[in-house]
């Protein structure tokens, strides 16, 4: 039996509950948010460590180190939460590939969770110790945490990459005809792809610092010289980082096998063009453009990258006769409606309430007083949560009751 038939046989016979393109769009879109916080976390963590070792030279470095330690702390929690959505969508439409890849490197897939827990605990130890006066040894906790985060990124990359190489699965599962069920190996890496994605940490933290200046500069308790220092630092990091990212991206483009026909497809070069535009802007318009525009530009670039990753996946799997378009659809419209209403209500109103509150509270000195709009949003968020919980239980009870009556 050839591997294409195996993959098609491994599809869930129950089919999927909505048109496949909907899942594909959701998978791509949600991954953008995951990877945005991955690169921000890695960039902020690296800068927090660098600034930590330079703190004797200027109090500004101390300020940067403490601030970036907090940014990395929050970003790691967000990257984990936001990783769940693309993981679920990948498992819905690319389950045979994701499953095979995880089983082939099972020990690493499990180690991923433990190393992430250890790394995050170490980062918290660094965060608690990283004050105006800090013990030097806590810097080592941070370095180990960062190395473990990078290892986790590598494991994620390997799992993603092995999933699109079905032609090699049998060779990894039974090398020389001998079964190897240990799951002890990371079988395939594409270094330019991994390094490129990781390199985006530099522009991510660079843009963040520019926006940090724009966000805080209207507060009278902030030192303008410190903010100007942060902005200049951000511009430099973003500029050099983008040059490195661009070079790594070109390497990745030409590393794709010619047989896939990917090298000259415009989709990949659109990512390169977005990087070049960002580089141009940060070089020539760094003081004229608002920091939020750089962040928005970075998100557009990540969206193009997310689409490009999907084009790559389709191109690698096509020769095996596998396409998600052939997925059987067994539509379940009520669940779908519940899903989108949850996204709009809980994500939009409750999430929107928290985000707006945090954004506004951070921009004032001292105690923040919510205005009428914020209190209305707060009340709305509680009402929506109540309705959502009620509908959740009612829907479940209704399904259970109708099943009980039918059988």
Binding site residues, ligand HEM, CB under 6 A: 31, 34, 38, 79-80, 83-84, 86-87, 90, 116, 149, 152-153, 156-157, 160-161, 163, 193-194, 197, 309
Please give the residue whose beta carbon sits closest to ligand HEM in the complex.
83
277-284 LR contacts (CB < 8 Å, sep 24+)? 278/203, 278/238, 278/242, 279/239, 279/242, 279/243, 279/246, 282/203, 282/206, 282/207, 282/235, 282/238, 282/239, 282/242, 283/239
The least CB distance from residue 187 to ligand HEM, in Å, is 14
The least CB distance from residue 394 to ligand HEM, in Å, is 30
The least CB distance from residue 304 to ligand HEM, in Å, is 14
Q: Which residue lies nearer to ligand HEM by CB, 36 or 349?
A: 36
Q: Which residue lies nearer to ligand HEM by CB, 161 or 353?
A: 161
The least CB distance from residue 118 to ligand HEM, in Å, is 11
The least CB distance from residue 379 to ligand HEM, in Å, is 32
The DSSP-derived string for 131-187 is: SSS--TTHHHHHHHHHHHHHHHHHHHHHHHHHTT-GGGHHHHHSGGG----------
Contact in structure between 342 and 388 (CB atoms under 8 Å): yes
Q: Which residue lies nearer to ligand HEM by CB, 55 or 157?
A: 157
Q: Which residue lies nearer to ligand HEM by CB, 87 or 186?
A: 87
CA angle 164, 154, 159 (to 5 degrees): 30
Other C-beta atoms lying within 10 Å of the C-beta of residue 114: 10
Q: Which residue lies nearer to ligand HEM by CB, 30 or 65?
A: 30
CB-based burial label for 270 (10 Å; 0-12, 13-18, 19+): middle
The least CB distance from residue 198 to ligand HEM, in Å, is 7
Give the ranges where 179-287 is alpha helix by DSSP (H): 191-199, 201-216, 224-255, 266-284
Q: Which residue lies nearer to ligand HEM by CB, 134 or 250?
A: 250
Q: Which residue lies nearer to ligand HEM by CB, 187 or 193?
A: 193
The least CB distance from residue 84 to ligand HEM, in Å, is 4
Contact in structure between 30 and 83 (CB atoms under 8 Å): no
The least CB distance from residue 363 to ligand HEM, in Å, is 30
Q: Which residue lies nearer to ligand HEM by CB, 167 or 396?
A: 167
Look at residues 310, 249, 240, 237 and name the one whose alpha carbon lies nearest to residue 274: 249
CB-based burial label for 276 (10 Å; 0-12, 13-18, 19+): middle
């Amino acid at each position: 039996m050839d591997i294409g038939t195996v993959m098609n046989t491994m599809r869930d016979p129950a089919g999927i509950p909505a048109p496949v393109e909907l899942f594909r769009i959701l998978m791509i879109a949600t991954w953008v948010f995951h990877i945005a916080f991955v690169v921000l976390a890695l960039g902020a963590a690296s800068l927090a460590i660098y600034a930590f070792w330079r703190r004797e030279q200027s109090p500004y470095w101390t300020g940067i180190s403490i601030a970036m330690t907090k940014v990395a702390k929050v970003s790691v929690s967000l990257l984990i939460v936001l990783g769940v959505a693309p993981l679920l969508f990948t498992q819905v439409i690319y389950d045979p590939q994701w499953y095979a890849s995880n089983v082939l490197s099972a020990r690493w897939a499990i180690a991923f969770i433990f190393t992430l827990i250890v790394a995050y605990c170490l980062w918290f130890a660094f965060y608690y110790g990283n004050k105006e006066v800090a013990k030097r040894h806590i810097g080592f906790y941070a370095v180990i945490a960062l190395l473990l985060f990078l290892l986790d990124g590598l494991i994620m990359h390997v799992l993603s990459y092995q999933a699109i190489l079905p032609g090699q699965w049998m060779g990894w599962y039974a090398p020389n005809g001998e079964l190897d069920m240990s799951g002890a190996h990371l079988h395939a890496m594409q270094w330019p792809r991994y390094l490129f994605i990781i390199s985006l940490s530099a522009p991510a933290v660079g843009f963040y610092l520019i926006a940090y200046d724009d966000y805080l500069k209207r507060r009278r308790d902030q030192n303008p010289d410190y903010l100007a220092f942060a902005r200049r630092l951000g511009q430099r990091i973003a500029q050099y980082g983008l040059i490195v990212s661009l070079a790594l991206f070109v390497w990745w483009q030409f590393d794709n096998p010619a047989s896939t026909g990917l090298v000259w497809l415009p989709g990949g070069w659109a990512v390169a063009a977005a990087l070049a535009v960002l580089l141009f802007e940060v070089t020539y318009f760094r003081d004229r453009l608002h920091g939020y525009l750089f962040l928005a530009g970075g998100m557009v670039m990540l969206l193009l990258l997310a689409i490009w990753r999907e084009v790559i996946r389709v191109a690698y799997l096509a020769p095996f006769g596998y396409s998600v378009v052939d997925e059987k659809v067994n539509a379940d419209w009520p669940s779908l409606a519940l899903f989108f209403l949850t996204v709009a209500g809980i994500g939009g109103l409750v999430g929107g309430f928290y985000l707006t509150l945090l954004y506004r509270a951070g921009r004032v000195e001292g105690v923040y007083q919510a205005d009428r709009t914020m209190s209305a949003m707060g009340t709305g968020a509680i009402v929506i949560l109540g309705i959502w919980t009620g509908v959740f239980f009612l829907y479940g009870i209704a399904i259970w009751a109708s099943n009980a009556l039918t059988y």
